[in-house]
């Protein structure tokens, strides 16, 4: 039996670096036990991480597949498993299984398009994978705009990479915003949906949104107002999951399973799905 | 076609049990239930078992993997082993059809579930044509023939005789092993019995349940129907329907610590429970209305949408008998299906 592949039996990874990004977000670097990555993935795909005895939970893979050395997970502390992950130290083994989900269409629909990324808070985690994939394949994509907002400057996830790398990238425009005025912040202040409308983008862009549901809702409405069509807008969803492969039965929206038919959906596809659960 | 005297049934079970474990419906305090054959155990004459037969392939609790944790180190222990061959005797047509629905989830939609596959491959299913279908039975709605179920072997109990027909190689082998008890016979009595069973089924009260309206309609129209608001109110969210249902296949994955380490197991779960979808970010199904709608939409709309129109219901009627507030899939289908069922 043990030679038969079983997705519910995880592999092992080792945490080789822990970076504190915000007061409640840490980014964990995970390697296979013998170095390198545990598996390859597509931007937007997810993996189950667990500590046996604590529990298992699903996280989007923050790093880009163009990173050949390790995988990264930016994780907000908000429950049992994430509490434990936030308390662990470098050198800790964890279990990992995946990748799960469809991922973003980076090598098809996104190719040669101008891309507009819109993220709120920890919602940047899955988009960072796409953004760094685009940076790693720069000639295959058009101009890139990134609108990223959070509660405060301290809540912007991996601010260093944004400030030191993204803003210097060719044809990259980074627009940061925070919810309230703060000392030491001379950038934009205000919520993401309004900021997107203020910035007023060309409507030939492909948009990729991730953030709190309320942010997604108002941002999408704003984009429609600007003249975008729903089939130009992609988002990624998260619901409770136990298996990752459409069998445990809890992450469906209508007849679609977020784990395998998603987590990435185009907004016109969402219209075909129930608005509730 | 082979025949045996019903009086020899015990010898048949004994012969079969010599090679592998045999399970059969046995009367107990809470109705018939599948039990292991041992000397003295006799076959129940009840219409069907209180619980379904899904446990044989999708047990209520099942170990997935073990771990040892030592400081920062973890060891993954894959304890999967081939299960031993076993025989289930007395599976009715509805429960047999439920295996095909579970197969769609666990075998036919990748990735294959190795735990389920293991049990499925080692189980031999002996079906039993229904002698006494009940008022709660409505398998015919789903095109299931209570008079002639498939499986590895099919049995008919006619008075003092039991007729056997092997349908698969596994079935042939089993029958051959019990050969001395069986004699070759003509099929005519079985054909007569089938006609009689079908005539009984045709007189059952729910046999004409119509699902066409539900199937023809757009998914969102069913989802947004006003009937859910009226139907859900009496539901107390006990989850009994999901546990007795032969096609309910949702599971939870949980762990417990042992002296040796950590065991990770899966167990049946129910979409009727309030914490089924609860996560750190909140709960996307906060009301019983949403949970109630999910269960029936899954069976009547979502599952067919992903499975060539096959409903995730086999009309076994267990939920009709066990729901404490007398809600069930028939009432839901009638309400959702509209005037066609009035």
Query: Residue A267, Cβ neighbours under 10 Å: how many?
Result: 20
CB pairs under 8 A between A and B: 134
Which residues 191-220 of B have a C-beta within 8 angstroms of A?
219-220
The residue of chain A with its CA nearest to that of B268 is: A248
CA distance A149 to chain B (A): 19
Residue A6 confidence class, pLDDT cut points 50, 70, 90: very high
Helix (H, G, I), strand (E, B) or coil at A227: coil
CA distances, B96 to each of A194, B13, B126, B339 (Å): 57, 20, 9, 31
DSSP 8-state secondary structure symbol assigned to residue A11:
E
Q: Are B118 and A2 in contact (CB under 8 A)?
A: no
Residues of B in contact with A251 (CB under 8 A): 277
- The reply to whether residue A1 touches residue B80, judged by beta carbons under 8 angstroms, is yes
Confidence at residue B131, expressed as pLDDT on a 0 to 100 scale: 87
A4, A8, A249: residue with CB nearest B250: A249
Q: Are B276 and A241 in contact (CB under 8 A)?
A: no
- With a CB cutoff of 8 Å and minimum separation 6, the contacts of B143 are none
Instruction: Tell me the residue ranges of DSSP E strands in chain A.
Output: 11-22, 25-32, 46-51, 55-60, 71-76, 93-100, 115-120, 144-150, 172-178, 188-189, 206-210, 233-236, 252-253, 256-257, 264-266
CA distances, A249 to each of A47, A58, B267 (Å): 18, 15, 12
Confidence at residue B2, expressed as pLDDT on a 0 to 100 scale: 94
Q: Fold for A11-100, please state it.
A: Elongation Factor Tu (Ef-tu); domain 3 (2.40.30)
DSSP 8-state secondary structure symbol assigned to residue A166:
G
Residues of B in contact with A2 (CB under 8 A): 78, 80
- The reply to whether residue A247 touches residue B251, judged by beta carbons under 8 angstroms, is yes
- The reply to whether residue B67 touches residue A95, judged by beta carbons under 8 angstroms, is yes
CA distance A145 to chain B (A): 28
Confidence at residue B72, expressed as pLDDT on a 0 to 100 scale: 96
Confidence at residue A88, expressed as pLDDT on a 0 to 100 scale: 97
Angle ∠(B47,B48,B50) on CA atoms, nearest 5: 130
- The reply to whether residue A8 touches residue B266, judged by beta carbons under 8 angstroms, is yes
Confidence at residue B342, expressed as pLDDT on a 0 to 100 scale: 52
Confidence at residue A275, expressed as pLDDT on a 0 to 100 scale: 85
B36 and A CB contact within 8 Å: no
Averaged pLDDT, A96-116: 97
CA distance B246 to chain A (A): 15
Residue ranges, comma separated, of all CATH 3.40.50.80 domains in chain A are 115-236
> Tokens 């434990």 label which residue?
A84
- pLDDT, tens digit (0-9, with 9 covering 90-100), for A66-80: 999 999 999 999 999
Read off φ and ψ for residue B283, nearest 5 degrees.
-130, 120
Residues of A in contact with B111 (CB under 8 A): 5, 7, 245
Q: How many angstroms separate the CA atoms of A191 and B78, rounded?
A: 49
**Maximum Cα–Cα distance for chain A, whole Å?**
61
Q: What is the CA radius of gyration of chain B?
A: 22
Confidence at residue A4, expressed as pLDDT on a 0 to 100 scale: 82
B261 and A CB contact within 8 Å: yes
The residue of chain A with its CA nearest to that of B118 is: A1
Is residue A111 over pLDDT 90?
Answer: yes
Q: How many angstroms separate the CA atoms of A187 and A153, rounded?
A: 10
The structural architecture, per CATH, of the domain A115-236 is: 3-Layer(aba) Sandwich (3.40)
Residue closest to B54 by CA, chosen among B295, B243, B196, B278:
B243
Averaged pLDDT, A202-231: 95
- The reply to whether residue A93 touches residue B73, judged by beta carbons under 8 angstroms, is yes
- The reply to whether residue A52 touches residue B271, judged by beta carbons under 8 angstroms, is no
Averaged pLDDT, A45-71: 97
A78, A238, A249: residue with CB nearest B271: A249
A7, A93, A243: residue with CB nearest B72: A93
Q: Are B158 and B147 in contact (CB under 8 A)?
A: no
Is residue A199 over pLDDT 90?
Answer: yes
Residue A163 confidence class, pLDDT cut points 50, 70, 90: very high
Residue closest to B281 by CA, chosen among A253, A76, A187:
A76
Give average pLDDT by consecutive 10-residue segment, chain B, 342 residues. 92 92 95 94 92 97 97 96 96 98 96 97 96 93 96 95 96 89 92 95 92 93 94 94 97 94 97 92 90 96 96 96 94 83 52
- The reply to whether residue B223 touches residue A52, judged by beta carbons under 8 angstroms, is no
B224 and A CB contact within 8 Å: yes
Confidence at residue A93, expressed as pLDDT on a 0 to 100 scale: 98
- The reply to whether residue B250 touches residue A94, judged by beta carbons under 8 angstroms, is no
Helix (H, G, I), strand (E, B) or coil at A82: helix
């Amino acid at each position: 039996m043990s030679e038969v592949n079983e997705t519910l039996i995880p592999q092992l990874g080792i945490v080789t670096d822990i970076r504190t990004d915000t007061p409640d977000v840490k980014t964990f670097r995970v390697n296979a036990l013998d170095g390198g990555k545990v598996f390859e993935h597509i931007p937007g795909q997810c993996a189950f991480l667990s500590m046996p005895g604590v529990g298992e939970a699903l996280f989007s893979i923050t790093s880009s597949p163009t990173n050949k050395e390790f995988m990264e997970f930016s994780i907000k502390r908000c429950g049992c498993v994430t509490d434990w992950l936030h308390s662990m130290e470098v050198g800790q083994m964890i279990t990992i299984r995946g990748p799960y989900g469809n991922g973003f269409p980076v090598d098809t629909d996104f190719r040669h398009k101008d891309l507009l990324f819109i993220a709120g808070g920890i919602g940047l985690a899955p988009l960072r994978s796409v953004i760094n994939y685009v940076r790693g394949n720069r000639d295959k994509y058009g101009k890139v705009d990134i609108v990223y907002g959070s509660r405060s400057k301290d809540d912007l996830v991996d601010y260093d990479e944004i400030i030191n790398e993204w803003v210097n990238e060719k044809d990259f425009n980074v627009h940061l915003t925070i919810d309230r005025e703060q000392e030491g912040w001379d950038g934009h202040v205000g919520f993401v949906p309004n900021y997107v409308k203020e910035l007023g983008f060309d409507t030939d862009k492909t948009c990729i949104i991730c953030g709190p549901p309320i942010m997604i809702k108002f941002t999408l409405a704003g984009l429609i107002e600007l003249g975008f069509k729903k089939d130009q807008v992609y988002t990624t969803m998260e619901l409770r999951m136990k298996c990752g492969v459409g069998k445990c039965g809890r992450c469906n929206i209508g007849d679609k399973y977020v784990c395998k038919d998603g987590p990435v959906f185009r907004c016109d596809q969402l219209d075909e799905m129930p608005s509730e659960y | 076609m082979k025949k045996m005297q019903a009086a020899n049934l015990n010898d048949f079970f004994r012969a079969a049990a010599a090679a592998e474990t045999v399970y059969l419906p046995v009367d107990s305090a809470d109705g018939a239930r599948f039990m292991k054959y041992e000397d003295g155990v006799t076959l129940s004459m009840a219409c069907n078992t209180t619980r379904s037969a899904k446990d044989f392939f999708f047990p209520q609790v099942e170990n997935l993997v073990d771990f040892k944790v030592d400081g920062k180190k973890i060891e993954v222990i894959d304890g999967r082993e081939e299960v031993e061959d076993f025989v289930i005797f007395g599976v009715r047509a509805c429960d047999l059809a439920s295996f095909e629905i579970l197969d769609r989830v666990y075998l036919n939609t990748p990735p294959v579930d190795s735990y389920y596959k293991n049990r499925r491959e080692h189980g031999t299913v002996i079906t039993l044509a229904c002698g006494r279908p009940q008022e709660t039975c409505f398998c015919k709605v789903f095109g299931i023939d209570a008079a002639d179920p498939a499986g590895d072997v099919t049995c008919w109990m006619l008075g003092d005789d039991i007729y056997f027909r092997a349908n698969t190689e596994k079935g042939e082998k089993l029958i051959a092993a019990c050969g001395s008890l069986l004699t070759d016979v003509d099929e005519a009595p079985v054909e007569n019995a089938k006609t009689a069973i079908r005539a009984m089924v045709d007189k059952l009260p729910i046999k004409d349940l119509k699902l066409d309206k539900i199937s023809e309609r757009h998914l969102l129209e069913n989802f947004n129907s006003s009937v859910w608001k009226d139907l859900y109110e009496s539901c107390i969210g006990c989850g009994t329907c999901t546990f007795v249902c032969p096609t309910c296949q949702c599971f939870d994955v949980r762990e417990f610590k042992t002296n040796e380490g950590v065991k990770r197991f899966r167990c049946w779960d129910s979409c009727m429970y309030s914490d089924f979808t609860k996560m750190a970010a909140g709960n996307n199904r906060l009301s019983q209305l949403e949970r109630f709608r999910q269960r029936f939409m899954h069976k009547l709309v979502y599952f067919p949408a992903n499975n060539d129109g096959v409903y995730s219901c086999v009309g076994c009627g267990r939920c009709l008998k066990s729901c404490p507030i007398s809600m069930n899939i028939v009432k839901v289908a009638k309400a959702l299906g509209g005037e066609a069922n009035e």
